[in-house]
Amino acid sequence: MTSETASTDFSGIHAEIAADHPTHAARNRLVITLLLVSTFVVILNETIMSVALPRLMADLGVTASAVQWLTTAFLLTMAVVIPVTGFLLQRMNTRPVFMLAMSIFSAGTLICAISPGLELLVFGRVVQAVGTAIMFPLLMTTVMTLVPPESRGKTMGNISIVISVAPALGPTISGLILSYLDWRWMFILVLPIALGALALGAWRMQNVTTPRYAPLDILSVIISALAFGGLVYGLSTLGDAAGEGSGIPGWVPVAIGAVAMVIFIWRQLRLQRADRALLDLRTFASKNFAVAVTMMAICMGSLFGTVILLPIYLQNVLGIDALQTGLLLLPGGLIMGLCAPAVGRLYDRYGATKLLVPGAIIVSAVMWALTLVDQNTSIWAILVGHIAISVGLALVFTPLFTASLSSVPMQLYSHGSAVLGSIQQVAGAAGVALFVALMSLQTAALVAGGMPPVEALSGGIRVGFLCGAILSLGAVAAAFFVRKPADNPMGFGH
């Protein structure tokens, strides 16, 4: 289906939505605010576990490989569910999708809060991940549908506050809770917030989208689970320290996932001719979308890898505790959130390139600086570097989200959001796997050579950061080619 045909098929819907902007401005703001608050809660949950794993190992009497499933299972579920959200958001209206996502997330949080052991805790994390996987594409698709192109940068800036501040608060809140309370309180305290968001949504959430018939290809769902699940699981296993306890070499699920991904792409290309694809890949017909998504993948891989290595470096090399680590990383996340609205307004005024280029250069410069850290590096230098990279990422994420999704036709917004979310998960898992694997291999080699453990770990971490620094050069190059699309939501961008 060409963009001209798409314009004909959906012009009535677009005209209706455009007419709604002045009339239903208050309703639209309320809906977006409810989605932002709820997304904040579910994203906060993603990072609240990051500094809790050592405590859980001690309290539950399990190994590092076993407790790692709390993260791996969460990422795996996200990767499997997100591709299906494109179909879900087409078939169902805003309110029932929101209620479904927050109900599932709240149920998962309750399961985690009452878990007596690791098995039920992992199951609760899986249930939480299902709700989380639905919420983010719902937010992005709703914003793209309701907000006119000339104001999207400002709104995406507000979304970036949620995306940046929530992960920054997670480790700090977790550190505070673990300093004084049992680990279950991480979920007990989140549960009433999630239930409050659910109750508020039940009371005030309104339907703002127009559902349409979309067939569900069951075979595509199965293949996508093998593809995205295999890649994320395999990469996570590779990233685990030598993949101990899995019994399966990490390359096996990666290979299965890669083969399944080829089959999945082939099937979607066939099905999309009749508008039956689970994940419509015509989003990549926009060169701007393709370049922006590529840059997003590089940035997410580098970010997730850095988020993993920095706490290891701070706690195991510099010798500070979990709470201090969370507090040290907090200013960067808060500053990123404070910068986001201004970045959104600048995007609306100046476009993407003038923000992405300096942002990518700042991120790359900090990544290269991190290749110089050792056991004598000042904590204050790490604080300044983390703040700097947070500013750089603030200049990158809002323009990328806005430019990528604004480059596809309106009827593909849900698929664009699902593609973006899926690639974020795979790129994040790949970044963690690559950084941790390189760190582990180099550390083991240095220890075998007679170097003291702390010094060897410092050397391993430098190699991990070197990988991120090299990858960041690709983001700098891509930044020059991302443009702000023309205000034409009915056709493809560039």
- Of the ranges 19-23, 283-287, 455-459, 476-480, which one carries the lowest mean pLDDT score? 19-23
Which among 122, 93, 303, 40 is positioned nearest to 209, based on CA atoms? 93
Residue that wins the pLDDT comparison between 432 and 247: 432
Quick check: 343 pLDDT over 80?
yes
Question: Binning pLDDT at 50, 70 and 90, where does residue 239 land?
Answer: low
In degrees to the nearest 10, what's the CA dihedral of 213, 261, 3, 12? 20
The pTM of the full predicted model, rounded to 2 decimals, is 0.74
Residue that wins the pLDDT comparison between 332 and 48: 332
Q: Which two tokens stand for residue 337?
A: 């959130």
Angle among Cα 119, 122, 124 to the nearest 5 degrees reads 110
Quick check: 253 pLDDT over 80?
yes
- Amino acid letter, 36: L
pLDDT one-digit tens code per residue, 382-402: 999 999 998 998 898 888 888
Classify domain 3-479 by CATH number. 1.20.1250.20
> Please, is 13 exposed, middle or buried when counting C-beta atoms within 10 Å of its C-beta (0-12, 13-18, 19+)?
middle
- Any idea where the domains of the chain sit in the sequence? 3-479
- Dihedral over Cα of 318, 323, 326, 330: its sign: negative
Residue 9's pLDDT is: 37
Give the residue-averaged pLDDT of 287-310. 84
Alpha-carbon Rg for the chain, nearest whole angstrom, is 22
What angle in degrees, to the nearest 10, is found between the helix axes of 353-370 and 287-312? 30
Q: Are 437 and 239 in contact (CB under 8 A)?
A: yes
Q: Are 301 and 428 in contact (CB under 8 A)?
A: yes
Chain centroid, CA 327 distance in Å: 22
Question: Binning pLDDT at 50, 70 and 90, where does residue 243 land?
Answer: very low
Question: Binning pLDDT at 50, 70 and 90, where does residue 50 land?
Answer: low
Report d(CA 162, CA 84) in Å as an integer: 23
Q: Are 195 and 106 in contact (CB under 8 A)?
A: yes
Q: Which two tokens stand for residue 208?
A: 């703002």
Residue 482's SS3 state is coil
Quick check: 51 pLDDT over 60?
yes
Quick check: 106 pLDDT over 90?
yes
Quick check: 489 pLDDT over 60?
no
Q: Are 61 and 121 in contact (CB under 8 A)?
A: no
How high does pLDDT run on average in the chain? Answer: 79
Report d(CA 369, CA 385) in Å as an integer: 8
Q: Are 32 and 146 in contact (CB under 8 A)?
A: yes
Angle among Cα 305, 288, 40 to the nearest 5 degrees reads 45
How far, in Å, are 29, 50, 51, 143, 437 from residue 22 at the CA level? 11, 43, 46, 15, 53
Residue that wins the pLDDT comparison between 26 and 478: 478
Residue that wins the pLDDT comparison between 428 and 10: 428
Half-sphere exposure of 436 (CA within 13 A, CB side): 23
Report d(CA 243, CA 386) in Å as an integer: 29
Give the residue-averaged pLDDT of 228-243. 66
How many other CB atoms sit within 10 Å of the CB of residue 376?
A: 8
Q: Are 9 and 406 in contact (CB under 8 A)?
A: no
pLDDT one-digit tens code per residue, 401-431: 888 888 888 777 777 877 887 787 778 777 8
- Amino acid letter, 115: S
Report d(CA 261, CA 241) in Å as an integer: 26
Which among 109, 114, 115, 113 is positioned nearest to 128, based on CA atoms? 109
Residue with tokens 């992992």: 122
